[in-house]
Chains A and B, each alone.
Chain A
């Protein structure tokens, strides 16, 4: 039985651990052999460092969580899959890592692959090579948390943490047929999350099912005095929201999400999901989020502007890669020119431009104002509706290399997820179908700030009435 422990969910394993039927070490060794077997193909994890590191960061207790490479782990490499952070070992734990340890669980001895600094939607921009989609190895797993999503989908991890700035948890969850939640901004501490865009970033769980998502949220949520943007509100027990009757739930279907560019198969699956929820008594109504088409341009100004400043510190002085030069300015330029990958340089330069003298008002300030309008669209809808339901991404997973040379096309694959980050609201992606080529399709549920419970209730109701979450890729 031990051999298949990797295929179980965290709440199933938790029960066995509590009954003393298994030990934490059993889970770890099951995972280890699974990773050995599959990861050469999937590349969900970063290569193990040659020299094992000491420290208490990775003692095996509870159910180990796979951690994205942009979350600081004390005494263990955290490199954002970038050459410029090569060899960086943080002297401190992110708050979420502390919370995981305090809850009796632990972190896996590997970090998961990602797009460099979370810049991407395909996990192709990594110094460690692209991660493959477990459902079809020639496809991308989505990104930027593609390593975490692929690890969970391929049973190389029980559960995982990702980070979501514009869809980086939800879109890969959708592509890999797993559950990914971006919590309300401020619900989970960002302390120790290497910032991409500070006003948009959130850490969240990537799991095999809704129950595990709620469990992991119970662990990582909560006010953190080390994060000035974290909110001092009590954390509910999210598992209590599971199984709640959703009859009478009011759910909006924004018409702007069902226009040209949406793959017909994805559309059909989402419509089918609406039908099955309707049977449970959920009230659906078509609504409008008027400024939806501006979300991507607003996002690419705000996110890159913040990133250009957040990533300035990678300058070769204190940590990471440094290019040799006798002159300070050349040392900076070469370190950053050689240390950052293409997409990172593109975004830093775009963001620097948007903030620079003469362009600030036209780009950055205007984007902040349109952000207000996007936020207001949601605020007014949530006065009437409990949730909003949309596809997570316009298509299922695309092919490796398909969009890598066309940044704009790549950016548009986040078109349905970005708005939630701009508005700061929570959103989940859960599996709701397969394409005829057997690739997973994701359903996105959004709710008002701090109403993750409503998302969980609705998502759980859907999950328990369908079989999609039980499907696994045939990877052997």
Chain B
């Protein structure tokens, strides 16, 4: 079952900062929701294959022919921060 520790682990994976209180509320709410979702355990799915697509399609391919790219100014037009032609982010430490 989900507890605050798991909520915090998952929030970190999802890169979402939660305030102390938010994590508490979420643990309770997600606990309720997962309790409801646990209903799925009643279903025997032993011989059932999973469905990831609503319609069964396969081999959707396009030709290797170039299309025009966006103009650079339009690429950068929504950037919160940029330098020259680049997007700018806090320094990545490797």
A touches B (Cβ under 8 A): yes
Show the binding face of A for B, using Cβ within 8 Å: 87-89, 91-92, 184-186, 199-200, 225, 228-229, 231, 291, 293-294, 296-298, 300-301, 308, 312, 315-322, 325-334, 336-338, 340, 345-346, 348-350, 352-353, 356, 363, 365-373, 375, 407-408, 411, 421-424, 449
Q: Which residue of B lies closest to A304 (CB)?
A: B33
A375–B87 CA distance with the chains assembled, in angstroms: 44
A373–B40 CA distance with the chains assembled, in angstroms: 12
Q: Shortest beta-carbon distance, B36 to chain A, in Å?
A: 6
**Once the chains bind, are B29 and A346 in contact (CB under 8 Å)?**
yes
**Once the chains bind, are B26 and A346 in contact (CB under 8 Å)?**
yes
Q: Shortest beta-carbon distance, A202 to chain B, in Å?
A: 9
The proximity string for B residues 16-56 relative to A, scoring 1 for CB distances below 8 Å and 0 otherwise, is: 11110010001001101110111111010100111111110
**Once the chains bind, are A353 and B30 in contact (CB under 8 Å)?**
yes
Show the binding face of B for A, using Cβ within 8 Å: 2, 6-7, 9-19, 22, 26, 29-30, 32-34, 36-41, 43, 45, 48-55, 57, 60, 62, 70, 74-75, 77-81, 87, 89-93
Q: Which residues of B contact A320 (CB under 8 A)?
A: 78, 80
A340–B18 CA distance with the chains assembled, in angstroms: 11
**Once the chains bind, are B89 and A317 in contact (CB under 8 Å)?**
yes
Q: Given the known A-B contacts A298-B40, A349-B30, are A356 and B90 also in contact in the complex, defined by CB atoms under 8 Å?
A: no
Partner of B54, one of A293, A329, A424: A424
**Once the chains bind, are B45 and A89 in contact (CB under 8 Å)?**
no
Q: Given the known A-B contacts A349-B30, A424-B55, are A373 and B90 also in contact in the complex, defined by CB atoms under 8 Å?
A: no
A373–B48 CA distance with the chains assembled, in angstroms: 8
**Once the chains bind, are B7 and A328 in contact (CB under 8 Å)?**
no
Q: Which residues of B contact A231 (CB under 8 A)?
A: 55, 57
**Once the chains bind, are A228 and B60 in contact (CB under 8 Å)?**
yes
**Once the chains bind, are B14 and A336 in contact (CB under 8 Å)?**
yes
Partner of A349, one of B26, B60, B74: B26
**Once the chains bind, are A294 and B16 in contact (CB under 8 Å)?**
no
Q: Which residues of A contact B60 (CB under 8 A)?
A: 228-229
Q: Which residues of B contact A371 (CB under 8 A)?
A: 50-51
Q: Which residue of A lies closest to B45 (CB)?
A: A369
**Once the chains bind, are A331 and B90 in contact (CB under 8 Å)?**
yes
Q: Which residue of B lies closest to A185 (CB)?
A: B54
**Once the chains bind, are A348 and B16 in contact (CB under 8 Å)?**
yes
Q: Which residue of A lies closest to B43 (CB)?
A: A370
Max chain A CB contacts within 10 Å: which of B43, B53, B70, B91?
Answer: B43
